[in-house]
Amino acid sequence: MVREYLLVLFVTAAVTYLLTGPVRKFAIVAGAMPAVRERDVHREPTPRLGGIAMFGGLCAGLLVASQLTNLGHLFIQTADVRALLSGAGIMWILGVLDDKWGVDALVKLGGQMIAGGVMVWQGVTVISIPVPGFGTVSVTPTMGMIISVTLVVVMVNAVNFIDGLDGLAAGMVCIAATAFFLYSYRLWYGYGINDAAPAVLFSAVLIGMCLGFLPHNLHPARIFMGDSGSMMLGLMLAVAAISITGRVDPDLITDQTGSQTTTVHELVPIYIPLLLPLTVIALPLADLLLAVVRRTWAGKSPFAADKQHLHHRLLEVGHSHSRAVLIMYFWAALIAFGTVAFSSMPGAGRALVLSIAGLCLVGIVVLLMPRFRPHAPRAVQAFVPPRYRKAVGRGAEAAAELPAMAELSAEDKELLGRIGTGATAAGGRGDRNS
């Protein structure tokens, strides 16, 4: 079974990767290259509409899944896939319109609610909520609709808010989707809960979409996903969360524990769905809440854009673009995978907490080390684009592959100046000799 999920993941990633290049050219021709705004961190206009390639990868992945022996049953037994495509399609169209012409914030909010409502109408909704000490608490259809649509809107805007640095949103969503995949696969395979299967499929497709787009989006980005991509990713995260939180019956797990004492020890994997959807987007959610409070306190609209997000603050304190992204990756992965590990090993709580604390300390020490420039390992440099290779001893080509001048140290700038001066002098001598 896991081979089918991996096949879907790789197909989704491959299609997304191959489509992103043509989509970039289309975005340039279509004029989807807004001028650089004051709150932007990139220096030159960059094409958007990367969500078109992601949507193509989504459709390709689901098409392949529908033809597989085991995953094909999901398309017959549940309407979740059709609901996901309906909601993602609405969100994608809304995002494309915003990337090209711009859409008012309230109109986008209304579109997000419509997309969530369409999915609820087709059955993707919270049916019950596991409450510690009480068990499963059923909710009314109206309350389930409100909870589901709210979760969609929060997830969509949380992902949209962190889409401010090259590769940040795609990487963090990939981390969150991987955490969802590990947890939901454990519920499906470990406990035999078939209701978790749609979340496993959606997470695998989401991972593929992000992995396929990241090579084009890492700093320096050649294309942005735009709202057409970020809102769709947020919606897919919400669908996976709803599938896990509101539709998996904890009693099915409790029946396998054997005794009340064992049940108490096994409560963590039962109730973790209440926490997992929040922990995997803990940083984007915190950024969203801080932005709403900050803008409201200043007398502005909560939807008014500014340059005070967490990633902007990392740049302000002196981190380079790539390093700021890696910092966000690190803490997102630590929170998400720490939560999944805690749910998988409830008996090793103290050891796990100490391990996470140790990783936090290591992470802080590493992040305080002198500036470093990430690059692909030497063994795979021949297979990646030039801008991901280590730029050493290649003169002007190396200088062109270095990050933006704003991220260079004084020594780097002086070195580039010498290289440029040397190249100019050599060119002059060549002209004279000829």
- Residue range 185-201, pLDDT digits in tens: 887 877 677 778 898 99
Q: Reply yes or no on whether the pLDDT at 157 is more than 60.
A: yes
Q: Average pLDDT, stretch 85-91?
A: 95
pLDDT at 23: 95
Q: Average pLDDT, stretch 99-107?
A: 88
Q: Reply yes or no on whether the pLDDT at 37 is more than 80.
A: no
Binned at pLDDT 50, 70 and 90, residue 322 comes out as confident
Residue with tokens 């803990």: 282
Q: Reply yes or no on whether the pLDDT at 27 is more than 80.
A: yes
Q: Reply yes or no on whether the pLDDT at 46 is more than 60.
A: yes
Structural element, H or E, at residue 137 = strand 135-138
Mean pLDDT is lowest, of 92-106, 211-225, 307-321, for 307-321
Burial string for 123-141 (b: 16+ CB within 10 Å, else e) reads ebbbbbbbeeeeeeeebee
Q: Reply yes or no on whether the pLDDT at 415 is more than 50.
A: no
Percent of the chain with pLDDT strictly greater than 70: 63
pLDDT averaged over the chain? Answer: 75
How far, in whole angstroms, is CA 313 from its chain's centroid?
Answer: 20
Torsion over CA: 313, 319, 323, 329 (sign): negative
Distance (Å, whole) CA 26 – CA 246 = 40
Of these ranges, 284-288, 359-363, 392-396, the one predicted with the greatest mean pLDDT is 359-363
Residue with tokens 């809102």: 231
Binned at pLDDT 50, 70 and 90, residue 184 comes out as confident
Higher pLDDT, 52 or 270: 52
Binned at pLDDT 50, 70 and 90, residue 290 comes out as confident
CA-derived radius of gyration, the chain: 23
Q: Reply yes or no on whether the pLDDT at 25 is more than 70.
A: yes
Q: Reply yes or no on whether the pLDDT at 19 is more than 90.
A: yes
Neighbours of 215 (CB within 10 A): 18
3-class state of residue 416 by DSSP: helix
Q: Are 245 and 129 in contact (CB under 8 A)?
A: yes
Of these ranges, 173-182, 310-319, 362-371, the one predicted with the greatest mean pLDDT is 173-182
pLDDT at 432: 40
pLDDT at 278: 60
Mean pLDDT is lowest, of 159-173, 223-237, 417-431, for 417-431
- Tokens, residue 281: 């987007």
Encode pLDDT of 338-393 as tens digits.
777 776 665 555 676 677 778 777 777 766 654 555 566 677 767 665 656 665 44
Q: Reply yes or no on whether the pLDDT at 60 is more than 70.
A: yes
Percent of the chain with pLDDT strictly greater than 90: 28
pLDDT at 339: 74
Amino acid 5 reads: Y
Q: Reply yes or no on whether the pLDDT at 57 is more than 70.
A: yes
3-class state of residue 414 by DSSP: helix
Distance (Å, whole) CA 56 – CA 228 = 12
> At 128, phi and psi to the nearest 5?
-150, 160
The CA distances from residue 232 to 93, 238, 353, 373, 431, in Å, are: 10, 10, 34, 31, 55
Distance (Å, whole) CA 158 – CA 288 = 6
Mean pLDDT is lowest, of 76-90, 109-123, 332-346, for 332-346
Q: Are 78 and 198 in contact (CB under 8 A)?
A: yes
Structural element, H or E, at residue 292 = helix 282-297
Mean pLDDT is lowest, of 56-65, 219-228, 372-381, 421-430, for 421-430
Helix ranges restricted to H, 349-409: 349-367, 395-401
Q: Are 59 and 16 in contact (CB under 8 A)?
A: no
Mean pLDDT is lowest, of 27-31, 271-275, 333-337, for 271-275
| Exposed / middle / buried, residue 318 (Cβ in 10 Å: 0-12, 13-18, 19+) | exposed
Distance (Å, whole) CA 225 – CA 47 = 9
Residue with tokens 């709403």: 292
